Structure 1
Amino acid sequence: MKLATFIFILLFPLFFLNGQQQLITVICTNDLHGALEPLELDWAEGNLVGGISYLAGYANAMKAENPDGWLFLDSGDVFQGTFISYAFQGRSVIDCYNAMDYNAITVGNHEFDWGVDVLLERIAQSNCPFLAANIVNKKSGQLVSWAKPYAIFTRKGIKIGVIGLASEDTYVTTNPINVTEFDFTSAVAAANQYADSVEALGATMIILLAHIGGTQDDYGEVGALATALDPERFDLIVAGHIHKRLDDVINGIPVLENYANSTAIGRIDFYVDPVSGEVESFFMNENPRTTYHTYEGKPATYHDRVVVPDAKVDQIYQFYKQQLDTIQNRVVGHAAVRIGKVDGPEWPIGNLIADAVRACTDVPANVPHIDFAMTNNGGIRTDFPQGPITYGRVFQVFPFDNFLVILPITGRQFKDIIEDMLSDVTEPNQISGFSFVYDPAKSDGNRVNPEDIMDWQTNAPVQADKTYYLAVSDYMYNVNPLLQERQRIDTRYLYRELILDYLTENSPVTAKVEGRITIRTDVKEHSFALTHFQLEQNYPNPFNSSTVFRYFLPVPCKVELELYNIRGQKLSTLISENQESGFHTCEWDAGTRGSGVYLVRLVADELAQTKKLILVK
């Protein structure tokens, strides 16, 4: 398995092939998430991207360059994510994959989202095996019978062993209730164990097909996997799970992961000694190939040949699509602006979804109302473009069947829940009904002051001994031991249904960053007691069109919030009124004002504070 040399190039290197080597081409995809339909994406500059028919077209172009020497592999998460897959419980996807002649698929975490019975139906439907060498039945202690640990393929006389690896964190990245009977064991141990097995059966090339990922900037879990392996044994890791690009050599092993949702396809070519079966060199594309339909006004090409969508696959896709068009094209709301994710802990689309959950009034009799709501970031998959919102788009934004669960909690318990959420300080949940300030520099359990958790209904800090009602999803409850300590009140509502109701009742909708989650970064603020008035740094900053100011008043008083240019000339008064104590927010829309540095000044109770803000257009 030793790699004598490796070269990265963009073009197919036919001139390196000689009569003493066999060319083996590995074509790979990952994280389709049911994306059978073409996508309109902001970064594509008006070009359609992806869709199963064009994904198949790109695969066909790659296969045509090495007709007898290709392997076509997918590293998992093929079903969950779109209405056209959900409505048929993945049958539409597998029918397309069968027509595309995939050779193997790894079991991804979201393969379990509809339950094991549905997964078994899809495995039975598939022409190619589902692989997983590290999913163990807890009762028997043996590998599950429905997935194979490996498969062996022969291409041009070369035996290739492909070993499947599931993510070790599957038990928390799908709803845990769906995988209670399984253990997801060490990927490293499984790789080594089954490398012995495939070598005993004559394999001289070994590929790991792993639903384990990383990125070009952070190799993450797949980097740890590669580092723990012997590069003399393993020739390739086809990765997945993270939805990011990764094409690099880690510990002597090439690792290839593509972008998700049918928007990219990867390829690596191996040059193999025909006698020993050992890899002598390989060529890996510098980037995963983006599956454009057109590019710069012309039909998309692969190696100067126009890419043609696969007619057979397209026929299958159209068969399923036509059955759903009336439903998924139904307009359920309207977005006044694009509502999506932004840099920072608080997202406009997260605010909208959390608001939709908190707006639910049809609650059990023992729940007077919902005070606070949370939704996990991972459940939000894309954005709402400006304009009409269809049922199908709502499904793309929130495809998971997460049910609303309500938890009675005290204010003291709520503080603990927020602290627990912030133990992963890079991704706090999206929230509604409250706001908080946290200090990421502090240790776990000490990032939030109780007086910094503000109840929107009272515009005052949450009371330690008062009972509140917190809405979360059943998924969030099932993966969080701290939430499981609280009484659980179930409902019959899916989060997605609450989003649909909210859009129907409130369109046109808009959402923005409001200062619900504030990061305390000013060192002086670390010890700044909320017995004093406080003007926080605006967020976002720098900003493009609008920004939010947030401030705290310890007592009721007259407030003036004023805007100045950098020369100290007053431009406008944003607020001039008497206000109650507590936290307050104010959004400033820069309108036609030009890029530059501005100052905002808070005057309250004869005291003043000033912050600098930067407008970039």
Structure 2
Amino acid sequence: MNHSIRYLHQLSLLVLFVFLAIAAGAAEFVIFHTSDTHGAISARPDPNAKEGEKRIIGGFAVLRNLIESYRANPAHQNARIMYLDSGDFFQGTPIVDRTKGGVMIDFLNHMNVAAVTLGNHEFDYTYQNLVEQFKSKKFPVICCNVFEKMTGMLPEFSEPYRIYTHQGRKIGIIGVDTPETATITFEKNVKDLIFCQPEPIVTNLVKLLRRSGVDFIILLSHLGYDGDLQIAREIEGIDLILGGHTHRLSKEFTWVPPYNTAVAHPGSSCENASIVHIDLTDRNEPVLRLESVLLDQATIGEHPATKALENSYLDELRAEMERVVGETRVHLARGVSGGDSPEGSLIADAMRKHSGADFAFINFGGIRQPIAAGPITVEDVFLVQPFDNVLEVIEMNGFMIRDLLEKSYSNEFREIDSTDQQTSIEQNRTNADGLKLVVGPPHGILLPSGLNITYDPTLPPMKRILQLTTADGKELEAEKIYTVALNDYVAAGGDGFTHLRDLPNRRKTTILVRDALIKHIEELQLIDKRPEQRVFNVKLRETFID
């Protein structure tokens, strides 16, 4: 009997030893991934929380606490833990604007980020500013498709790829920025750069990395979700795409045929983090697992050192930003791309009123955050309109306005998928079904004030508008001259509307769009209902759920 017990004891020890040996030899990478953080360094009330909830989310102090909890967990003691970011860490909050992005270099250094790629908003304060800010970075910038015109080379601060090793396994990371940056950023900010189509460059780099013995290839991408799907379909050899740009939140992988490439996006504004587990113990059969974690302050807590860094930047700014300018009883969001936009209508109304124009348009991509029901602060408005864009008024006849809007509503369309539906419920408070427009080239989507637009996205481009009337139901007169208010980014040819820069009769004001919105909300005092619908997509069905 004692002999049997001793044998079972020895056997259990052997099994435990084998298990520990296997665990110790496991080649696991744990990757924390963010994108489009837009200077959101601190926790704040959840803009998408349901009425009555007081959830505080986001910020780097919460993210670091989450990462450190994994480092301290014995289950991950043999994993290589890394933090990656897919760009657009500049632009979006008062502090990142005041420091021209410098605060984000400080925070990314502090977070020991393993690598970042570039997003379009890194160039918002000019390329020269980016070069200067990157002088203090302590992390690699990986981007293979942005070149200097003068030299034909990558900028000195960037590299096309980097290889990371662990337990004898190699992961190669290639970085890409959207080539749209050339048209969705002020031209003067990127005049010294060339933004190339990434496919041929990435194809060659994938081959190079495979020849170098890399076991697993990650594309750290700022192409947007649809761009990621396209490159996944076209290029063999990419195992995982960690993407950004379109602020999509993935709670599970999208597996893209024909090469079975995994795609994941982490959302935006440092509200969520993706955690990707990559087990390369068998290099021929990688095992992937995705977690999407809401950065809930109450659940995760905040890292004291990161919180201290946050306070060193924000203490002086908080009093100014916390001033209440109005109140809303309804949740205001920018909506489904190609559909109506209650928040866009509010902004466009402010632009029209404070410019004195007949009509106004705000670009869909220029609306950055929803406005939650409750008091509206200066900071809330800043998060909605972080750009220092001013109002510009251009004279156009009715034919030119219709042509402008045909361009705007001629983008590709696609069916709303299950992730879109969930996002619409959480962010827009709508059940959505049908067809949406793809955000991106060739043109931005313009949201109106003073006009109603009815269109069919399945009709040929430039022939989609079924009806275009003024707010009081009158048809536009083709030869009549109207005044149109835009932000100076669009007026200067941004979002693909290059023809606008050549229109001669124009008036550039000194009024920031953000300031016009603050004044408009102060004048309204209380917003008790959403603005009336102005955009009617006949292939999109939406119903509010609140």
Q: 1:207 to 1:66 in 2, by over 3 A?
A: farther
Q: How does 1:78-93 map to 2 (within 5 A)?
A: 78-93=89-104
Counterparts of 1:519 and 1:384, CA distance in 2: 23
Shift of 1:459: 5.4
Q: Are the counterparts in 2 of residues 92 and 317 from structure 1 also a CA contact under 8 Å?
A: no
Shift of 1:204: 4.4
Counterparts of 1:174 and 1:245, CA distance in 2: 24
Q: Does 1:443 align with 2:457?
A: no
Q: Are the counterparts in 1 of residues 359 and 449 from structure 2 also a CA contact under 8 Å?
A: yes
Partner of 1:455: 470
Q: Does 1:260 align with 2:268?
A: yes
Equivalent in 249, 253, 258 of residue 255 of structure 2: 249
Q: Does 1:354 align with 2:369?
A: no
Q: 1:311 to 1:419 in 2, by over 3 A?
A: same
Which structure is richer in relative contact order (CA contacts within 8 A, separation 6 or more)? 2
Shifted more, 424-433 versus 70-79: the winner is 424-433
Give 1:349's aligned amino acid. Answer: E
Normalized per residue, the structure richer in strand is: 1
Counterparts of 1:544 and 1:206, CA distance in 2: 42
Counterparts of 1:266 and 1:116, CA distance in 2: 29
Q: 1:136 to 1:380 in 2, by over 3 A?
A: same
Q: How does 1:364-379 map to 2 (within 5 A)?
A: 369-379=356-366
Q: Does 1:54 align with 2:62?
A: yes
Partner of 2:503: 486
Counterparts of 1:16 and 1:542, CA distance in 2: 56
Helix, strand or coil at the partner of 1:208: strand
Q: Are the counterparts in 1 of residues 26 and 167 from structure 2 also a CA contact under 8 Å?
A: no
Q: TM-score, normalised by structure 2?
A: 0.80
Q: 1:53 to 1:144 in 2, by over 3 A?
A: same
Helix, strand or coil at the partner of 2:465: coil
Equivalent in 387, 395, 402 of residue 415 of structure 1: 402
Q: Does 1:288 align with 2:310?
A: no
Partner of 1:604: none
Q: 1:17 to 1:186 in 2, by over 3 A?
A: farther
Partner of 1:607: none
Q: 1:67 to 1:91 in 2, by over 3 A?
A: farther
Partner of 2:233: 227
- Over residues 177-203 of structure 1, what are the superposed CA-to-partner deviations in whole Å (9 max), with x where a residue is unaligned? 322322222322222333455566664
Helix, strand or coil at the partner of 1:152: strand
Shift of 1:129: 1.5
Helix, strand or coil at the partner of 2:370: coil
Helix, strand or coil at the partner of 1:35: coil
Q: 1:152 to 1:438 in 2, by over 3 A?
A: closer
Q: 1:179 to 1:66 in 2, by over 3 A?
A: farther
Counterparts of 2:315 and 2:66, CA distance in 1: 24
Give 1:29's aligned amino acid. Answer: T
Q: Are the counterparts in 2 of residues 77 and 107 from structure 1 also a CA contact under 8 Å?
A: yes
Give 2:362's aligned amino acid. Answer: T
- Over residues 96-152 of structure 1, what are the superposed CA-to-partner deviations in whole Å (9 max), with x where a residue is unaligned? 221211111101111111211222233222210211111022343322223222233
Equivalent in 317, 324, 327 of residue 310 of structure 2: 317
Q: 1:15 to 1:170 in 2, by over 3 A?
A: farther
Normalized per residue, the structure richer in helix is: 2
Helix, strand or coil at the partner of 1:401: coil
Q: Does 1:123 align with 2:134?
A: yes
Counterparts of 2:153 and 2:229, CA distance in 1: 27
- Over residues 493-542 of structure 1, what are the superposed CA-to-partner deviations in whole Å (9 max), with x where a residue is unaligned? 22112112222333234552424233457xxxxxxxxxxxxxxxxx9875
> What value does the CA root-mean-square deviation take over the aligned residues?
2.9
Shift >6 Å, 4+ stretches? none
Counterparts of 2:233 and 2:186, CA distance in 1: 30
Equivalent in 191, 208, 220 of residue 219 of structure 2: 208
Give 2:353's aligned amino acid. Answer: A
Counterparts of 1:241 and 1:181, CA distance in 2: 22
Q: 1:162 to 1:267 in 2, by over 3 A?
A: same
Give 1:501's aligned amino acid. Answer: K
Partner of 1:465: 479
Shift of 1:400: 1.9
Helix, strand or coil at the partner of 1:518: strand
Counterparts of 1:314 and 1:264, CA distance in 2: 18
Helix, strand or coil at the partner of 2:159: coil
What are the ranges of 5 or more consecutive residues in structure 2 without an aligned counterpart? 1-18, 414-435, 438-444
Q: Are the counterparts in 2 of residues 271 and 279 from structure 1 also a CA contact under 8 Å?
A: no
- Over residues 48-71 of structure 1, what are the superposed CA-to-partner deviations in whole Å (9 max), with x where a residue is unaligned? 221111011112223332366222
- Over residues 524-574 of structure 1, what are the superposed CA-to-partner deviations in whole Å (9 max), with x where a residue is unaligned? xxxxxxxxxxxxxxx9875668xxxxxxxxxxxxxxxxxxxxxxxxxxxxx
